[in-house]
Amino acid sequence: MLILALASGQSLPAVRCGGPLLAIGTWDRPFDTGWICWLSPTWAHAREAVVFATAPFVGVLFSVLALRESLTGAHGHGPQP
């Protein structure tokens, strides 16, 4: 994803923004893996897949409602037409 973003002309985020995002991403992966291992004996794999497949949509919904982000992606970053 990083290569795709840089190839499309996007710039890297500032350290004050990118640092916390990197920390969250680093912590999130072991948490997700642990949750999968904990749920596997009790949940069917299809239910487990639905939970993890909907996570990005829940994140978008949270960013729109709680953080008041725009769905257009127009934040003044990157190349302008």
pLDDT tens digit sequence for 7-65? 888 887 777 777 887 788 788 777 777 777 777 777 677 777 777 788 888 888 888 88
29 found inside a domain:
no
Total structural domains within the chain: 1
Report how far residue 67's alpha carbon sits from residue 61's, in angstroms, rounded to the nearest whole number: 9
Chain CA centroid to CA 5, Å: 14
57 found inside a domain:
yes
Full residue range of the structural domain in which residue 42 is found: 34-70
38 found inside a domain:
yes
25 found inside a domain:
no
55 found inside a domain:
yes
Report how far residue 60's alpha carbon sits from residue 66's, in angstroms, rounded to the nearest whole number: 10
Give every CB contact of residue 36 below 8 A, 6+ residues apart in sequence: 48, 52
Report pLDDT for 1: 67
The predicted model scores a pTM of 0.41
12 found inside a domain:
no
